[in-house]
């Protein structure tokens, strides 16, 4: 009898040390095995040294189940629930390429106005403006824009007297409104080469309006600008001794000259930076950078002048016009080519590379002389990309007609007279 108990206990110990096997035993057999005293009594034997301690299964002691203990053979419902919650709360596994750090957009950090005790305001510049400005300067050094070679400041003839150079700068600015830089440069060259005596005050006073209009016919609003130039020539002769005004008030009083033109002319012609010339590029880009939130160029000018160092007033227009012409376009910004976006400094960055040119439809009116003085009018719908191209229209009865299309470059619209 003792030998059989020893063999049975030995088998139980060996079973406890063996790898766990999945079992489908009933609850009754489980409870039976869990009480070795009862089991030994049923076999008619007394407790032995081997059978007296509770046997183990899967490395856990087998004994009476106690509420709240973790040493029971079966996992409690509470522990299972806790484990399932942990699984649900575990972070989502990332797929390939998902673990790469995503670039966050820069926060808008506009200039802040701080009221002093004496009632005056102190403007605190945007936090990162110097870094943004420096990087933009570095990008512009590597990018040649139309404004660099055909901007209004570079169109005056250096061989002319200073008075004529100042006049040519003023006329260039007047023609540049709603006109691309290459078109403005071509119109100024026409005036310089075809006006008797060149582009000077005396030639503008003597030329007929129709002839003047023919020479600048490709610029935007050329009819109105012809009237403005003729009226300006008379004012300069009668009120300013043949020279252009040397004050902002005097320049703004001229027909067709607004604040932007006046500040640019004052800086380029007279060498005095009395304000910032803010066109649509400067207005748009500085708002995209989050330097301020303004709705008009004049509001932008006031905000910039309140904190931007004066030595940068002259160059910021040229800097941002070229940047807006080549990188930060009005339609289809090339954020994939901009270092500000790559470094997380532009809060308006659009994810992705350089956008494709978008096609826009335009209605083109064509008037062609067919013969015997008959003029045939046609309305043809062509296609042009959003940065402006020449649309070529070909019809058997009209021949080939080149029509200048696209969106005007910059500046404020000239009001009709």
For residues 334 and 345, what is the distance between their CA atoms, to the nearest angstrom?
Answer: 15
For residues 153 and 173, what is the distance between their CA atoms, to the nearest angstrom?
Answer: 8
CB 358 within 8 A of CB 386: yes
Catalytic residue among 64, 225, 227, 260: 260
For residues 332 and 387, what is the distance between their CA atoms, to the nearest angstrom?
Answer: 9
Smallest Cα–Cα separation from 286: which of 269, 306, 270?
A: 306
**In the structure encoding, which two tokens stand for residue 113, read together?**
């106005």
Produce one character per residue of 215-234: b if its CB has 16 or more CB atoms within 10 Å, e if not.
Answer: bbebbbbbebbbebbbebbe
Torsion sign, CA atoms 23, 27, 30, 34 = positive
Instruction: Kindly tell me the burial class for residue 84, based on how many C-beta atoms sit within 10 Å of its own C-beta (0-12, 13-18, 19 or more).
Output: exposed
For residues 300 and 281, what is the distance between their CA atoms, to the nearest angstrom?
Answer: 11
For residues 21 and 19, what is the distance between their CA atoms, to the nearest angstrom?
Answer: 6
Write out the DSSP string of 100-119: SPPPPPPPP---EEEE-TTS
- Concerning whether 260 is annotated as a catalytic residue, the answer is yes
First to last CA, the chain: 127
For residues 294 and 136, what is the distance between their CA atoms, to the nearest angstrom?
Answer: 21
Q: Which long-range contacts (CB under 8 A, 24 or more apart) does 293-300 make?
A: 293/110, 297/259, 297/260, 297/412, 298/259
For residues 317 and 389, what is the distance between their CA atoms, to the nearest angstrom?
Answer: 25
CB 147 within 8 A of CB 154: no
The bridge status of strand 359-371 relative to strand 374-385 is antiparallel
CA distances to 4, 5, 15, 32, 42 from 45, rounded to whole Å, are 10, 8, 21, 16, 8
List active site positions: 260
């Amino acid at each position: 009898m003792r030998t059989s108990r020893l063999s049975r206990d030995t088998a139980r110990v060996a079973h406890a040390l063996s790898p766990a096997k999945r079992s489908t035993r009933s609850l009754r057999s489980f409870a039976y095995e869990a009480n070795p005293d009862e089991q030994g009594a049923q076999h008619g034997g007394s407790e032995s040294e081997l059978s007296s301690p509770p046997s183990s299964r899967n490395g856990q002691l087998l004994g009476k189940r106690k509420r709240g203990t973790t040493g029971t053979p079966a996992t409690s419902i509470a522990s299972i629930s806790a484990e399932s919650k942990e699984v649900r709360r575990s972070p989502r596994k990332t797929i390939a390429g998902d673990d790469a750090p995503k670039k966050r957009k820069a926060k808008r950090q506009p200039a802040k106005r701080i009221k002093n005790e004496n009632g005056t305001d102190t403007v605190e510049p945007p936090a990162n403006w110097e870094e943004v400005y420096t990087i933009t300067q570095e990008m512009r050094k590597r990018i040649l824009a139309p404004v660099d070679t055909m901007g209004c400041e570079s169109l005056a003839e250096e061989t002319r007297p200073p008075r004529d150079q100042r006049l040519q700068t003023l006329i260039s600015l007047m023609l540049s409104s709603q006109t691309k830089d290459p078109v403005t440069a071509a119109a100024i060259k026409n005036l310089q080469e075809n006006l008797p005596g060149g582009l000077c005050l005396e030639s503008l006073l003597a030329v007929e309006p129709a002839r003047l209009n023919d020479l600048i016919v490709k610029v935007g609003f050329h009819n109105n600008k012809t009237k403005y130039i003729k009226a300006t020539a008379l004012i300069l002769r009668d009120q300013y001794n043949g020279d252009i005004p040397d004050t902002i008030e005097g320049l703004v009083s001229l027909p067709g000259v607004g604040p932007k033109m006046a500040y640019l002319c004052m800086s380029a012609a007279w060498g005095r930076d009395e304000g910032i010339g803010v066109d649509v590029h400067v207005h748009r880009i500085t708002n995209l950078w989050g330097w301020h939130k303004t709705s008009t160029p004049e509001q932008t000018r006031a905000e910039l002048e309140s904190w931007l160092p004066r030595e940068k007033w002259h160059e910021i227009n040229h800097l941002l016009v070229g940047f807006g012409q080549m990188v930060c376009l009005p339609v289809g910004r090339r954020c994939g080519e901009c270092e500000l976006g790559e470094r997380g400094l532009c809060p308006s960055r659009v994810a992705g590379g350089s956008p494709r040119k978008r096609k826009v439809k335009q209605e083109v009116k064509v008037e062609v002389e067919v013969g015997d003085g008959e003029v045939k009018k046609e309305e043809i719908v062509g296609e042009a990309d959003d940065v402006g191209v020449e649309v070529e229209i070909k019809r058997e009865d009209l021949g080939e007609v080149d029509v200048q299309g696209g969106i005007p470059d910059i500046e404020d619209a000239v009001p009709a007279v």
